[in-house]
Amino acid sequence: MHNKARILSTAQNASHLKGRIEANQDQQTDLNHWIFSLLSVQEGWKVLELCCGTGAQTTYLAEKVGPKGHIWALDISVEALEHIDKTLGKQYLNRITTMEVDLDNFSGQLARRGFVEPCFDLIFCSYGLYYCSNIQETLAEIERWLRPNGKIAIVGPFGPNNEPLYDILHKNGVVISEYVMHTSKTFMTFDVVPWASEKFEHVSIHPLVNPVVWESAETLMKYWKNSTFYDETKLDSVRFHAEKHFRQAGRFVNEKWVMLLVAEHKRRLR
């Protein structure tokens, strides 16, 4: 049975994250190229990255801010942060500081480390903000840490995200929890967009439909096993029907629906 604690444990586990990333390598559009072709990051900026994971976007940010800028990359997973530290190129060693921080307590932990709000030019979060306990409180804290003319960029799934995969799982009796459905489909449009529209002068929304082609049942199964909606009791049934699909069609096309929201210039209190 799905429960939030197990879901969060899977989501924040570095090895499961690595498995999901590997299974999605054959995306039609490179996610990082897409994000940073739309998100302007200036040299010298001080950037707070929440839920940095294994650093998929961290080095991109470090390259953009240059030697005079800095990235504070926060995540709850020590394993993920160690991966970043071990794989950093020499040119980024002085630009990135990794910090083991719980998303629900990031504000207090920053304050205890001597940070004084507001101090960041950009606060960035890709795939992870929805794991906080109280989204409105977390968004309010994010706003407080942002400088008046700063920028917030949030990347997350929306709409019919993963629908082809969900369909085959549903047909085999896999029950996907309401929590997972919210975080993978409605979180951005129901929680993030209304908040940003109220709090910022300028909000831009960039959607992307990114097909992922899986050439084998093994790859499909790998993604599912590392996901937050894996159900071992349905393993044999899903594998049987996945292999049947590949014998007939030769490939499986899943669709990742992605939204990049960029909010700039905090509204002044009246």
In a domain, 224, yes or no: no
Q: What's the whole-number average pLDDT of the chain?
A: 91
Does 259 have pLDDT greater than 90? Answer: yes
pLDDT in tens, 244-253: 999 999 999 9
pLDDT in tens, 66-92: 999 999 999 999 999 999 999 888 888
The total number of structural domains that make up the chain:
1
Domain membership of residue 112 as a residue range:
4-157+178-211+256-266
In a domain, 169, yes or no: no
pLDDT in tens, 166-192: 999 999 999 999 999 999 999 999 999
Measured CA to CA in angstroms, residue 235 lies from 35, 167, 242, 255 at distances of 35, 15, 10, 22
Phi-psi region of 250 (alpha: psi -120 to 50; beta: other; left: phi over 0): left
In a domain, 227, yes or no: no
In a domain, 20, yes or no: yes
In a domain, 22, yes or no: yes
In a domain, 162, yes or no: no
In a domain, 148, yes or no: yes
In a domain, 45, yes or no: yes
pTM of the model: 0.89
Does 8 have pLDDT greater than 80? Answer: no
- CATH code of the domain covering residue 199: 3.40.50.150
Contact 69, 43 (CB under 8 A): yes
Q: Quick one: pLDDT at residue 93?
A: 85
